[in-house]
Amino acid sequence: MEDSRIALPIGTTLDRFIKRNQDDFQYATGELSQLLRDIALAGKVVNREMNKAGLINIAGAIGTMNVQGEEQQKLDVLANIRFIRALTKGGEVCAIISEEDEKVIDVDHSKGKYVVAIDPLDGSSNIDVNVSVGTIFSVYRRISPIGSPIQKEDYLQKGTEQVAAGYLLYGSSTMLVYTTGAGVNGFTYEPSLGEYFLSHQNMTIPKDGKIYSINEGSLFSFSEPVKRYLEYCREETYSGRYIGSLVADFHRNMLKGGIYIYPSTAKNPNGKLRLLYECNALAFIVEQAGGKATDGINRILDVKPTSLHQRVPFFVGSKNMVEKAKVFHEMIHN
Ligand SMILES: O=P(O)(O)OC[C@H]1O[C@](O)(COP(=O)(O)O)[C@@H](O)[C@@H]1O
Ligand SMILES: [Mg+2]
Ligand SMILES: [Mg+2]
């Protein structure tokens, strides 16, 4: 097996990288490689639509609500269509869980070996104001026999069972960052060539950081440990940085060191973020990069999902910072 940690030459495309590293996949048969290519391709299409959003009237709300009672943006719907089309036509997937669909999408008669959970467009309230948004995905192996109907055990798997996870960030550049459990690598999209190039090899998150990212608007309803931890961050004169797009906040903290928190609030007693298609993927990536992800105390990847759109409090980022936040939870009883 070729060691993916050897510095690869400038100009390594995603496709070439996937080929070179196929042996890193625990179940290396080529299908997972193809699935990653399918996602990358849909990402290019969404990126193109995103860049034109202000011009061709696809920014803005569509007038419908998704399953979570959130107003859908036109691009939420468009991105969902693009990714689902790519995944169903690609043939590697038997079921899809999407933020935008109430029920699991059972890809009829699929021989696909994988289940994908996806947030097609994350941070969609930022589209109208031209601020970075993203896509988040998790990949699991199918448990039920091929040809049989999809079972709960296929799509309600713990985060520890992910075989791949990643995100696309549509920012000042578009990037694809993913892991298959052998480190984290980031690729920057070059639109005129239509290629992703390896730009961030073997990404690691600094063990410590000086950035904390949280929407403090609901401060009064935060638990005592969270309030005390935030006081601590201010005493340490950390910088508060909050974009309101989870992917963008997460990516900045990955590169610079920091913690992102979405805790329980009065409005969202279990936090706002969704375990299956937001938290698990980022938890897998951050751990692969040397960081941590918890619900304040427990490891996110160990949470056993009980429903598709389940929410969970989320503390993710630099190892020492997430551990420090946990100390406040253990010290103080709610
Ligand atoms: O406005 P709030 O409550 O701070 O929520 C922001 C969070 O909600 C989200 O927008 C949820 O994602 P969606 O856009 O996919 O619904 C996260 O990206 C973000 O971190
Ligand atoms: Mg989201
Ligand atoms: Mg979304």
From residue 1, give the alpha-carbon distance in Å to each of 25, 156, 183, 184, 195. Answer: 11, 32, 15, 17, 25
Could you tell me if residue 7 is inside a domain? no
The Cα 118–Cα 165 span in angstroms is 10
Q: Would you state the pLDDT for residue 2?
A: 45
Q: Would you state the pLDDT for residue 39?
A: 97
Mention every residue, 6+ apart, whose C-beta is less than 8 A from residue 285: 165, 166, 167, 177, 178, 179, 184, 254
Could you tell me if residue 282 is inside a domain? yes
DSSP state, 309?
T
Q: Is 242 exposed, middle or buried (0-12, 13-18, 19+ CB in 10 A)?
A: middle
Residues 28 and 151 in one domain: yes
Residue 199: both structure tokens together: 């730009």
Residues 216 and 317 in one domain: yes
Residues 178 and 220 in one domain: no
Question: pLDDT tens string for the chain (334 positions)?
Answer: 444 456 677 789 999 999 887 766 655 568 889 999 999 999 999 999 888 866 656 666 666 777 766 766 688 888 999 999 999 998 899 999 999 999 999 987 778 999 999 999 999 889 888 899 999 999 999 999 988 889 999 999 999 999 999 999 999 999 999 999 999 999 999 999 999 999 999 999 999 999 999 999 999 999 999 999 999 999 999 999 999 999 999 999 999 999 999 999 989 999 999 999 999 999 999 999 999 999 999 999 999 999 999 999 999 999 999 999 999 999 876 5
Q: Residue 226 sits in a domain of what CATH number?
A: 3.40.190.80
Q: Residue 106 sits in a domain of what CATH number?
A: 3.30.540.10
Residues 162 and 252 in one domain: no
Distance 291 CA to ligand 2 centre (A): 21
Distance 205 CA to ligand 3 centre (A): 24
**Is residue 215 lining ligand 1, measured as CB closer than 6 Å?**
yes
Residues 134 and 29 in one domain: yes
Q: Would you state the pLDDT for residue 1?
A: 40
Q: Is the dihedral of CA 121, 80, 117, 163 positive or negative?
A: negative
48 closest CA partner among 11, 56, 138, 16? 56
**Is residue 122 lining ligand 1, measured as CB closer than 6 Å?**
yes
- Report phi then psi at 260, rounded to 5: -110, 135
Q: Which of 70, 122, 135, 274 to mutate to test the pocket of ligand 1 (most atoms within 8 A of CB)?
A: 122
pTM of this structure: 0.93
Q: Which of 72, 221, 272 to mutate to test the pocket of ligand 1 (most atoms within 8 A of CB)?
A: 272
Number of domains in the chain: 2
The Cα 212–Cα 201 span in angstroms is 25
Q: Would you state the pLDDT for residue 56?
A: 58
Residues 217 and 104 in one domain: no
Q: Would you state the pLDDT for residue 148?
A: 85
The label of the residue with tokens 């038997």 reads 94
> Structural domain of residue 83, as residue ranges?
14-200
Could you tell me if residue 271 is inside a domain? yes
Q: Is the dihedral of CA 33, 34, 37, 43 positive or negative?
A: negative
Residue 89: both structure tokens together: 């036509």
Q: Would you state the pLDDT for residue 51?
A: 85
**Is residue 246 lining ligand 1, measured as CB closer than 6 Å?**
yes
Q: Would you state the pLDDT for residue 76?
A: 85
**Is residue 181 lining ligand 1, measured as CB closer than 6 Å?**
no
Residues 103 and 179 in one domain: yes
